[in-house]
Amino acid sequence: MANFLYKVLFFCIVFVLINGCGKEESIKQREGEENMTNIILVVAQDGFQEKELADTKDALQKEGFKCDIAAKNMSWAVGKTGTRIMPDLTIGDAIDSLTMYAGVAFIGGPGAVAYFNDSEALELARKSYESGKVTAAVCIGPMILAHAGILKGKKATVWDGDGKQSAYFKKNGIDYTGQPVTADGNIVTGNGPEAAKAFGEEIAKLLE
């Protein structure tokens, strides 16, 4: 009888130790997930600027950040010159899983205009900014942030080839700098393809 009780006690101790270790490992895994250094790069479904995506992504990856590509839906996103990429998630998914990311950056290109009044894109920008995450946009992309209402009273830059964007900024209380890259708090803006590398580097600097 005594031997039987010793065996039961032994197995109980082993069970507690195994389950305790499992719980500790699960906690560590959750903590790791909450501190992930993933960045969402949002591209237009049709007409994103390839150089801006490539240079921004490269600059971030060099600093150890992983980039997930988001678009309106899970079909091929097509660049300005025809490059095709498959998104990792939709903008709706990005909103739902934003806590898993360190920041959001909107890539420009003619197709980004479709996001100026897109409810999901604007919600993603607002939610990212209000959560204190780095919220960024390049080329025509800063107009998305402007339409989301998060640039008012901030310094920002934007592609301004026809003068309409800077006029919109000034009309809506945004301090247009005209610089290649501008950072104000947790917001980073860039003015076009040639600024994309510096744009990505500035995002990485803030995240570090």
Residue predicted with more confidence, 18 or 167: 167
Whether the pLDDT of residue 6 is over 50: the answer is no
Beta-sheet pairing, 89-90 with 66-71: parallel
Q: What percent of the chain has pLDDT over 90?
A: 81
Listed in sequence order, the residues at least 6 apart from 33 whose beta carbon sits closer than 8 Å to its beta carbon are 100
Say if residue 148 is in the same domain as residue 59. Answer: yes
Other Cβ atoms less than 10 A from the Cβ of 63: the count is 14
Say if residue 75 is in the same domain as residue 165. Answer: yes
Whether the pLDDT of residue 3 is over 70: the answer is no
Say if residue 2 is in the same domain as residue 50. Answer: no
Say if residue 143 is in the same domain as residue 153. Answer: yes
Domain of residue 24 covers 1-35
Give pLDDT, residue 7. 47
Q: What is the DSSP string of the chain?
A: -HHHHHHHHHHHHHHHHHHHHHHHHHHHHHHHHHT--EEEEE--SEEE-HHHHHHHHHHHHHTT-EEEEEESSSS-EEETTS-EE--SEEHHHHHHTGGG-SEEEE--SGGGGGGTT-HHHHHHHHHHHHTT-EEEEETTTHHHHHHTT--TTSEE----TTSHHHHHHHHTT-EE---SEEEETTEEEE-SGGGHHHHHHHHHHHH-
Say if residue 60 is in the same domain as residue 2. Answer: no
Contacts 24+ apart (CB under 8 A), 149-157: 150/125, 150/126, 150/187, 151/187, 154/184, 154/185, 154/187, 155/182, 155/184, 156/182, 156/184, 156/187, 156/189, 157/181, 157/182, 157/189, 157/190, 157/191
Say if residue 93 is in the same domain as residue 139. Answer: yes
Give pLDDT, residue 4. 44
Residue 94: pLDDT band (50, 70, 90) is very high
The end-to-end CA distance of the chain, in Å, is 62
Say if residue 83 is in the same domain as residue 112. Answer: yes
CA 147 to chain centroid, in Å, comes to 18
Give pLDDT, residue 208. 83
Say if residue 15 is in the same domain as residue 104. Answer: no
The domain tally of the chain equals 2
Say if residue 29 is in the same domain as residue 51. Answer: no
Mean pLDDT, range 128-134, rounded to an integer: 97
